[in-house]
């Protein structure tokens, strides 16, 4: 049977389409990167996690992915920040580029294959501008070069609006040297004190849009398979990228346009003036990176997401549930990894059936396939997490009722499930921690301990309570439990003894 195809929503056609790259087995993917003038916030974090998981999943699916994400290191905002702070624009750009990299590393976002800086692609941009001038899609005016929107046949095709609507709807800067208000700068004549490079049109600097067209052509060729970015980039940035790239090459620029939805904080747009502007590093002071990743992935990438304390607390509970499942499996099977999936498929299905309740077997069977079916449906990470949750629930129920450690087959099932959960975790960037420390770390990494009790003291008190229980001294046992409880330590009695967890 042919496996079902991966389908991917395309902003260009406004439809989900079966995904097939131009070259079989290879995906050329470009995503607009940060403008490095300030610390990145939660909206950036969401976007990077979304595309990180797409790339990982495409690789998991067997595609060779060539992934490029640019660094915009020359731009009005960087220049303004430099003027405000009295620091050179280059220093601002390098500082916040490093901050962005550090944030991505903390979030577990893998580095793209290429991460070109705009300032290192000036030559390619000028080449592209020359092509556009030669083909009469651009004109020179007062030392700047503009793209002529009128010369473009299908301008507006990505945002699904015609040029009149765009002129009426967009906030467009009045500029005397442009022929049409929608025309945009490919090259800007530099003002006094601004960074500049020599060019055939005079000293100047590149416009923003041209860099992505030049960089994607340099590293990935003339036609991309996937071009991504936030939904806020559709107009004008991506519309302009398409117009200039297709005018220069006469070929389709990108076959799929993929856009992630935006993020609000407590139902409001994030803004420094509203005091709800949360940088990635601030968020990670209170949340484990996996909690943040799971929060983003619990929503479809195209949907808007509202970040709130309650929503994040729910996510943390869900993530705890998976870690608790892993902890229980570890208590039964130790840390050994399970048999590979195919081995399990071939040799021991029948054996498994003997050792397991039918519903647990069903949950265990094909969890990766069900994960894949959800992800194949336009990267439905929320559905995929739902499948994992269902499987874990059934296994937990089975563990509640049976003593899985008694049968070797039971252990094999648990180990196999853990292996699959870990493999899927590689795609989502989750479940990397050891389950026991997960519950014993005080608060979150980087935060001060939520309780004054050391691990040793808790162990000693737990042992004391164990002895009291054996002696049927229930009063002492209860007192110790309450004492620990008041310090945020919960005790869980299991057939294998008592385990403790921190809850604060
Ligand atoms: Zn771009």
- In this prediction, residue 312 carries a pLDDT of 96
Domain boundary among 286, 321, 350: 286
- Per-residue tokens: 395: 């296994």
Residue 352 pLDDT grade (very low, low, confident, very high; cuts 50, 70, 90): low
Query: Does residue 299 form part of some domain?
Result: no
Q: In this model, does residue 347 exceed pLDDT 60?
A: no
Measure 93 CA to ligand 1 centroid, in angstroms.
17
* 377 and 462 belong to one structural domain: no
Instruction: Write out pLDDT tens, residues 218-253.
Output: 999 999 999 999 999 999 999 999 999 999 999 999
Measure 401 CA to ligand 1 centroid, in angstroms.
55
pLDDT above 90: percentage of residues in the chain? 71
- In this prediction, residue 165 carries a pLDDT of 82
How do the residues of the chain divide into helix, strand and coil, expressed in percent and rounded to 5? 50, 15, 30
Residue whose pair of structure tokens reads 């099932």 in the numeric block: 413
Q: In this model, does residue 52 exceed pLDDT 70?
A: yes
Report the C-alpha gap between 250 and 225 in whole angstroms. 16
Q: In this model, does residue 446 exceed pLDDT 60?
A: no
- Residues 8, 17 contacting (CB under 8 angstroms): yes
Measure 453 CA to ligand 1 centroid, in angstroms.
51
Measure 461 CA to ligand 1 centroid, in angstroms.
58
* 241 and 332 belong to one structural domain: no
Measure 276 CA to ligand 1 centroid, in angstroms.
27
Domain boundary among 257, 286, 315: 286
Instruction: Return the beta strands (E) in 231-383 as ranges.
Output: 254-260, 263-265, 268-269, 305-307
Query: Does residue 295 form part of some domain?
Result: no
* 147 and 256 belong to one structural domain: yes
Beta-bridge mates of residue 30? 68, 227
Domain interval for residue 374: 307-437
> Going by C-beta distance under 8 Å and a sequence separation of 6 or more, which residues neighbour residue 92?
36, 37, 78, 81, 82, 85
pLDDT above 70: percentage of residues in the chain? 89
* 332 and 358 belong to one structural domain: yes
* 206 and 352 belong to one structural domain: no
Burial of 386 by CB count in 10 Å (0-12 exposed, 13-18 middle, 19+ buried)? middle
Query: Does residue 368 form part of some domain?
Result: yes
* 254 and 319 belong to one structural domain: no
Q: Which of 73-82, 204-213, 351-360 has the lowest mean pLDDT?
A: 351-360
Task: Tell me how many domains the chain contains.
Answer: 3
Measure 270 CA to ligand 1 centroid, in angstroms.
22
* 274 and 377 belong to one structural domain: no
> Going by C-beta distance under 8 Å and a sequence separation of 6 or more, which residues neighbour residue 262?
43, 230, 231, 232, 304, 305
Query: Does residue 481 form part of some domain?
Result: yes
- In this prediction, residue 338 carries a pLDDT of 59
- Residues 6, 19 contacting (CB under 8 angstroms): yes
Measure 229 CA to ligand 1 centroid, in angstroms.
8
Query: Does residue 236 form part of some domain?
Result: yes
* 168 and 251 belong to one structural domain: yes
* 418 and 488 belong to one structural domain: no
Measure 478 CA to ligand 1 centroid, in angstroms.
62
- In this prediction, residue 346 carries a pLDDT of 43
Query: Does residue 298 form part of some domain?
Result: no
- In this prediction, residue 457 carries a pLDDT of 87
* 119 and 243 belong to one structural domain: yes
Measure 367 CA to ligand 1 centroid, in angstroms.
37
Report the C-alpha gap between 116 and 124 in whole angstroms. 12
- In this prediction, residue 448 carries a pLDDT of 38
Measure 37 CA to ligand 1 centroid, in angstroms.
16
- In this prediction, residue 124 carries a pLDDT of 97
- In this prediction, residue 275 carries a pLDDT of 84
Q: Which of these, 461, 312, 293, 331, lies nearest to 451 by C-alpha position?
A: 461
Measure 149 CA to ligand 1 centroid, in angstroms.
18
* 313 and 279 belong to one structural domain: no
- Distances 335 to 149, 203, 287, 325 between C-alpha atoms, Å: 62, 63, 26, 13
- In this prediction, residue 341 carries a pLDDT of 57
* 374 and 255 belong to one structural domain: no
Q: In this model, does residue 354 exceed pLDDT 70?
A: no
The pTM assigned to this predicted structure is 0.90
Query: Does residue 202 form part of some domain?
Result: yes
Query: Does residue 450 form part of some domain?
Result: no
* CATH at residue 60: 3.40.50.620
């Amino acid at each position: 049977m042919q496996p079902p195809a991966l389908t991917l929503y395309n902003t260009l056609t406004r439809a989900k389409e079966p995904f097939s790259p131009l070259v079989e087995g290879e995906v050329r993917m470009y995503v607009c990167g940060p403008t490095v003038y300030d610390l990145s916030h939660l909206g950036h974090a969401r976007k990077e996690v979304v595309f990180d998981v797409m790339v990982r999943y495409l690789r998991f699916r067997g595609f060779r992915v060539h992934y490029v994400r640019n660094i915009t290191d020359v731009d009005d905002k960087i220049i303004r920040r430099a003027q405000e702070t009295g620091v050179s624009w280059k220093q601002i750009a390098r500082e916040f580029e490093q901050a962005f990299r550090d944030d991505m590393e903390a979030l577990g976002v893998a580095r793209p294959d290429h991460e070109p800086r705009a300032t290192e692609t000036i030559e390619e941009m000028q080449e592209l501008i020359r092509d556009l001038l030669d083909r009469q899609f651009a004109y020179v005016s007062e030392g700047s070069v503009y793209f002529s929107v009128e010369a473009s046949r299908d301008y507006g095709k990505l945002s699904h609006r015609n040029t009149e609507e765009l002129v009426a709807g967009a906030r467009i800067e009045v500029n005397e040297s442009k022929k049409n208000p929608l025309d945009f700068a490919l090259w800007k004549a530099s003002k006094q004190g601004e960074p500049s490079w020599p060019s055939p049109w005079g000293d100047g600097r590149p416009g923003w849009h041209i860099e992505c067209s030049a960089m994607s052509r340099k590293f990935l060729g003339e036609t991309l398979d996937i071009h991504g970015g936030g939904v806020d980039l559709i107009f004008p940035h991506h519309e302009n990228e398409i117009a200039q790239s297709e005018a220069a090459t006469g070929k389709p620029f990108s076959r799929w346009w993929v856009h992630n939805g935006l993020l609000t904080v407590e139902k409001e747009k994030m803004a420094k003036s509203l005091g709800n502007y949360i940088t990635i590093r601030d968020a990670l002071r209170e949340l484990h990176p996996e909690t943040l990743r799971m929060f983003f992935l619990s929503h479809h990438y195209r949907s808007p997401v509202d970040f709130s304390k309650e929503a994040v607390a729910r996510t943390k509970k869900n993530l705890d549930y998976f870690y608790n499942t892993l902890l229980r499996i570890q208590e039964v099977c130790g840390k050994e990894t399970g048999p590979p999936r195919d081995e399990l498929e071939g040799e021991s299905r029948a054996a498994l059936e003997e050792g397991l309740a039918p519903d647990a077997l069903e949950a265990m069977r094909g969890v990766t396939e069900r994960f894949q079916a959800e992800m194949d449906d336009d990267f439905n990470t929320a559905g995929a997490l739902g499948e994992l949750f269902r499987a874990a629930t059934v296994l937990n129920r089975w563990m509640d009722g049976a003593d899985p450690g008694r049968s070797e087959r039971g252990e094999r099932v648990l180990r196999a499930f853990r292996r699959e959960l870990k493999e899927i975790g590689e795609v989502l960037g989750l479940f990397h921690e050891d389950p026991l420390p997960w519950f014993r770390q005080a608060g979150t990494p980087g935060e001060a301990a939520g309780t004054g009790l050391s691990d040793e003291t808790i162990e000693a008190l737990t042992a004391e309570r164990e002895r009291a229980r054996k002696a049927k001294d229930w009063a002492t046992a209860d007192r110790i439990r309450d004492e620990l409880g008041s310090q945020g330590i919960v005790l869980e009695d299991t057939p294998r003894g008592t385990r403790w967890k921190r809850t604060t």
